[in-house]
Structure 1
Amino acid sequence: MQASSVPNLSLLNAVDIRVKMMITALASVMTVAISSLYAQCFLFAVSFLYLLMIRRPKLILVSYLLFLIMMAIACGFGLVLAHFLPMMGKGMELKSLAVPFMRAFTMLNVVLPLAFTGRLQQILNSLQKLKLPFVIYLPAAVIVRFIPTFTNDIKQIWESLKIRGYRINPWTMTIHPFQTTRLLFTPLLIRALKTGDELGIAAELKGLNANTSAIKKDPPSFTKKDYAAVSLTAAVLVAAVILQIYFPNTSPVLMK
């Protein structure tokens, strides 16, 4: 199993994994609790700056393109349903979709740094320190580590197709759907299943099971960078709450 490599120049490598997990958890709570479009835009902007700190521009670009494609597909199905159920058409307006889409992008912005700057052992140790049940912290750690590992699998499959002379693009995917399924989606499915097994085996090899502890030693103390990250996160949350209070239902002019 090929491990993902993260540039040493990333500032997030110096931040404790527990702090990054806390940022992800708080972001998930705030995106659900906040309904103001101004507040959601603010959270998205700050979280995007946080994402840029991993210094993986190609990864960010591809992730956003895939997210936009999935949202476009979801909107397409919504429009089809609205044609048969007119009452659903009200929920397909741009102003109604802005906040849910912002929530999704904000979560993408905080999950990717956690996945690409944290090792499996660190995530397991931190989750187990929270006294979570085995059936919760093990799948959670595997899911987080699945993202960078599966990204490498996609690169390998894509490079193998290029070597064999196949060109996969939107046009060929449209006119040759069965060939695309055979050459691209089937290998991806097989690799996804194999990657999940490998991550589970990796956890077992680290001495983890339902009756043992994955913790080898006490985690290191927080550094100044960790405290600075916590303080900055608190300030962002306070600012988002203030925007929610003063602009609870206000939308920008372009959304009216």
Structure 2
Amino acid sequence: MSLTILVIQASVIPTTLKLVRRDNLADDSWEDAEAILDETANTLTITDGTGTEYALASTANNSLPVTLSLFTAKVVDKQVVLNWETQSESNNSGFYVERSVDGVNFETLHFVLGHGGGNSTVKLAYSYTDITYSAGNNYYRLKQMDNDGQFVYSRVAVINISLSAVTLHSFYPNPVSNELNLLITSPVKSALIITVTDISGRVVQQRSANIVSGNNKIHVNISNMATGTYFMRMIISETGEVMSHKFLKK
């Protein structure tokens, strides 16, 4: 019998999986360890623990539905850009992009639909940009989903983000009619105090927002303000840093 050694992280352990063992590392002969499969707990259990080396094997042709040839994470313009490529796809629904700050507990960021309509024999490229990362290590992985609900995890890509100062990346649109959008990167979690004054220095609006360590998108509604020139002052209460920006209300 021909055995194929597999490394699998999936929602279901196939019934064709076997736990095999051998007593001599130089011996090419493996034997069935006669493990008991629990499909609910996704475990293989043996009561006779003799053997020097163990491996997972299969009696069936369990080819992976997606061949992932590339998965990278890098910082581009203070954003984390994830890129991955597949060499082939079969029954592929798409990919959940997941992130963790400790490498153990992951959260879902986004679902990227498969490009090949489920099946492909050519190289396909994917990407996702994360603007809500945290300072320090950020762990990313892909959860590739089949159309039948089964899934496989990719390897984990780790990137360290070092934030040294608060940065206002974007302030738009300007001129503005209804709502201003601010993209701010902060090294710390803090309250953000926003004060808007007219050209005479009179305060016409003041509000606060909570920002996290990493990238933050803040929306400021100015639809009820009169047409004219204004100044926005932003204070990071945790660090005392101050940012100012001039804008025109249409």
TM interval, shorter chain, is under 0.3
**Which is richer in helix?**
1
The normalised TM-score by structure 2 is 0.22
**Which is richer in strand?**
2
Structure showing greater Rg: 2
The normalised TM-score by structure 1 is 0.22
